[in-house]
C-alpha cells in the first residue's frame, strides 16, 4: 500500500575516520518502512555528505537491501527491518567525533 511522501532521516557512522553523518530529507514509501544495516563501498566519506539519492527494500524483516549514491559514488549493503520499499532524497552533514 502506497504511504506517500514524508520526512526522511539517514544516520551513518564511519568507524575508520570517526565521522558521523546525519542526512535529513524527504522520502516516499510503499508500506511503513524503517531499516538498518551496514553500507559498503569505496570512500564513504566522499559519498555520504551532500545531496544523495537512497533506495531500499525489505521483503522480510531479516532480508533486505539498501543503497545510497551521488556524483561521488555508490554505497550499498544488506538491511533488516520492516518490509516495504522506500526512496529518499537527503542532504548529509558530517560531524567529526575523533580528536
- Tell me: pLDDT of 16 over 70: yes
| pLDDT band at 2; cut points 50, 70, 90 | low
pLDDT in tens, 79-98: 999 999 999 999 999 999 97
Distance (Å, rounded) from C-alpha 96 to C-alpha 73?
21
Which residue range forms the structural domain that includes residue 69?
Answer: 2-96
Q: How many domains does the chain have?
A: 1
**Straight-line distance from the first to the last Cα atom of the chain, in angstroms, rounded to the nearest whole number:** 46
Mean pLDDT of all residues in 8-12: 93
The CATH number of the domain holding residue 7 is: 2.40.128
pLDDT in tens, 38-84: 999 989 999 999 999 999 999 999 999 999 999 999 999 999 999 99
Amino acid at each position: 500500500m502506497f504511504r506517500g511522501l514524508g520526512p526522511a532521516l539517514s544516520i551513518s557512522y564511519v568507524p575508520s575516520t570517526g565521522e558521523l553523518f546525519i542526512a535529513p530529507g524527504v522520502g516516499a514509501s510503499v508500506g511503513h518502512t524503517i531499516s538498518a544495516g551496514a553500507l559498503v563501498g569505496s570512500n564513504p566519506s566522499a559519498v555520504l555528505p551532500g545531496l544523495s539519492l537512497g533506495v531500499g527494500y525489505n521483503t522480510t524483516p531479516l532480508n533486505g537491501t539498501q543503497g545510497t549514491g551521488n556524483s561521488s559514488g555508490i554505497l550499498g549493503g544488506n538491511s533488516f527491518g520492516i518490509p516495504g520499499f522506500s526512496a529518499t532524497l537527503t542532504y548529509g552533514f558530517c560531524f567529526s567525533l575523533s580528536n
